[in-house]
Amino acid sequence: MDMFIKILFLVIFFAVMIGVGIYCRKQATDVNGFVLGNRSVGPWLTAFAFGTSYFSAVIFVGYAGQFGWRFGMASTWIGLGNAFIGSLLAWNVLGRRTRVMTQHLNSATMPDFFAKRYDSTALKIAASVIIFIFLIPYTASLYNGLSRLFEMAFGIPYTYCVIAMAVLTGVYVVLGGYMATAINDFIQGIIMLVGIVAVIIAVMNVNGGLTETIAKLSQESATTAAGTEFQGAYTSFFGPDILSLIGVVILTSLGTWGLPQMVQKFYAIKSEKSISTGTIVSTIFAIIVAGGCYFLGGFGRLFGEMGADGKPVGGYDSVIPTMLETLSPVLIGIVVILVLSASMSTLSSLVLTSSSVLTIDFIDPVFCKKNGMAEKKKLLSIRILIVFFIAVSAIIAIIQASSPVLFISQMMGVSWGALAGAFLAPFLYGLYMKRVPKAAVWINFVLGIGISLASFICNLSGVKFDNAVLEYFKSPINAGMLAMILGLVITPIITLIAPAKDKERVEGIFSCYNKKVTVSSKKSIIEEEAPLPAAAAPAKAQQTTKMTGKTTAKTKAKNNKKRK
């Protein structure tokens, strides 16, 4: 009976996902519809697409397990950082300006934005190659977290789990494109919200409730440095290692500003209202899902067994599955669907981004220089590449499962660090600063990739540094944080030394923020002015307000007063 309930949940879930893919086929008949949903996606779908692409099995199983074990309850700060920096601030700083400028440039991808904003096809090709290379390990990490839960719940071998998830995701993305992904993200997001709340309540009850659970965790000791121990570190405000905690918060929160699969959600926003609603919805979603995941992971030490090296037996990725083994069959079924939802939503976003970028920004400009690819060929190419990316990432995931070198968070850390380090500063400053030269973009590309690869090689080879600073930045998480911060600092300096010379072209790009649009007084409120003298009052008075990237602005008011 228990197994029947779990299988029933899966069958219903799979049927809904495939049904949505079939339903959305009509809206995926051209590249714009397939990749951006014709830029007509409403606020709730956009907000949930943003949130579900943000949080996956990597968060629930990998990051929550590892950082919950390392920082205890203080790992909740990571989830709050994701909510307020990675969601709330990202929507306010990037949302509107991204939507306005990308539509003005007729840009469908981040590499295409770089090409048109900085007038360089070479930048587009380089960015597309970076995305192609570094999204694959991120994609592969999604299977790992999910499949560990499937093995725990159903006893199904890892390989079969990977194949099933790959096939299902490929079907609905190939059929319906971005719109199918957005609708499924909404459904999956609802499941994630309900699931995480239910799981937290159930896990706390295992130890007698929240108070008793915290009391038990406070008895755990933590070592912050050699020879230094203190009690209750895992229930303290900032945990046993505040510097490492800050690195994780910055990478996982600010890093989303430079991830192409996240930023591209802003391209598809439908209207001004969608931005306001989307900001609120995505922030609340992040508080519940991310905050809940890391809060739950903070109690991992009460369920996992610690080895001689201070790490959990079975690795960090085993912490959350071990914690969930104590739940009822119904709750385990809910958890499986929860993590399946989180993984598939992120996977669909990643493969759609990778395939569209490779087709539009690499294959088309490099191999079809003369006439360009026809619309149908582009669409076919994107669909073929979706299958290719899913297959490659699944193969890597199966191979990686037998290797103890890289666990989930390491794979994700390398990808996030390289992509965010390379793209964050050029994209952010490209939306706000007119004088940024293309040389600054190239330097960011080199820094982001160089620092992340150096960290990856050091970890792979097992190099140990005597210098505490070098040892700190050897971590993929901290290396990614360093790459982002350096980019944000160096780019304005380069701009001051060697500003862009093509002022007229750049002025034309930024003119999109000053475009005047006529709206009704229902949509825009103007300040009341003192009435004009009757003799001087014109029959019609027109008031115009400059648009600065916020709300549109040209209103007409009528004055029908007559002298009596």
Q: Is residue 453 part of a domain?
A: no
Q: Residue 505 domain-assigned?
A: no
**Contacts with 561 (C-beta within 8 Å, 6 or more apart), sequence order:** 531, 534, 537
Task: State the residue for tokens 């990051």.
Answer: 63
Which of 400, 417, 438 is the C-terminal boundary of a domain? 400
Distance CA 31, CA 474 (A): 41
| DSSP 3-state of 555 | strand
Q: The CATH number of the domain where 311 resides is what?
A: 1.20.1730.10
Rounded to an integer, what distance in angstroms lies between the CA atom of residue 231 and that of residue 224? Answer: 11
Please choose, from the candidates 176, 196, 153, 474, the residue with its C-alpha nearest in 3D space to the C-alpha of residue 321: 153
Tell me, letter by letter, the H, E, C secondary structure of 123-176. Answer: HHHHHHHHHHHHHHHHHHHHHHHHHHHHHHHHCCCHHHHHHHHHHHHHHHHHHH
Question: Are 526 and 378 part of one and the same domain?
Answer: no
Asked if 63 and 416 touch (Cβ cutoff 8 Å), the reply is: no
What pLDDT, on the 0 to 100 scale, is given for residue 108?
A: 83
Indicate the residue among 400, 427, 462 that finishes a domain.
400
Judgement on whether residues 217 and 71 belong to the same structural domain of the protein: yes
Please tell me the total count of domains within the chain.
Answer: 2
Same domain for 183 and 49: yes
Residues in the chain: 564
SS3 per residue for 220-244:
CEEEEECCEEEECHHHCCCCCCHHH
Residue 456 covered by a domain: no
Sign of CA dihedral 93, 96, 102, 104: negative
Residue 323 lies in a domain: yes
* Pairwise CA distance, residues 123 & 105, whole Å: 16
Give domain status of residue 509, yes or no.
Answer: no
Distance between alpha carbon 386 and the CA centroid of its chain, in Å?
A: 19
Q: What is the pLDDT along the chain (564 residues), one digit of tens a residue?
A: 567 777 777 788 888 888 888 888 877 777 778 877 777 777 788 888 888 878 776 777 777 888 888 888 889 999 999 999 999 999 999 988 998 898 889 888 899 999 999 999 999 999 999 998 888 877 877 776 666 667 666 677 778 878 888 888 888 888 888 888 888 888 888 888 888 888 888 888 888 888 888 888 887 654 433 344 556 778 887 888 888 888 889 888 998 898 888 888 888 787 777 888 889 999 999 999 899 989 988 888 888 777 777 778 777 777 887 787 777 777 777 777 777 777 777 788 888 888 888 888 888 887 777 677 788 888 888 889 889 888 888 887 777 766 654 555 566 678 888 999 999 999 999 999 999 999 999 999 999 999 988 888 887 777 788 877 888 888 888 888 899 999 999 999 999 998 888 888 999 999 888 876 665 545 544 444 455 454 444 444 444 434 444 444 443 444 444 444
User: Model's pTM, two decimal places?
Assistant: 0.80
Q: Would residue 523 count as lying in a domain?
A: yes
Query: What is the DSSP secondary structure assignment for residue 557, as one 8-state letter?
Result: E
Give the pLDDT score at 488.
94
Query: Do 139 and 9 share a structural domain?
Result: yes
Is residue 176 domain-resident?
A: yes
Q: Are residues 107 and 248 in the same domain?
A: yes
Which contacts qualify for 238-243: CB closer than 8 Å, 24 or more apart? 238/74, 238/77, 239/70, 239/71, 239/72, 239/73, 239/74, 239/75, 240/70, 240/71, 240/72, 241/70, 241/71, 242/74, 243/472
DSSP run (H or E) holding 554? strand 554-558
User: Does some domain include residue 319?
Assistant: yes
What per-residue confidence (pLDDT) applies to 553? Answer: 40
Given 400, 426, 449, the domain boundary residue is: 400
Let me know whether 226 and 88 are in one domain: yes
Print the domain residue range for 524: 519-564
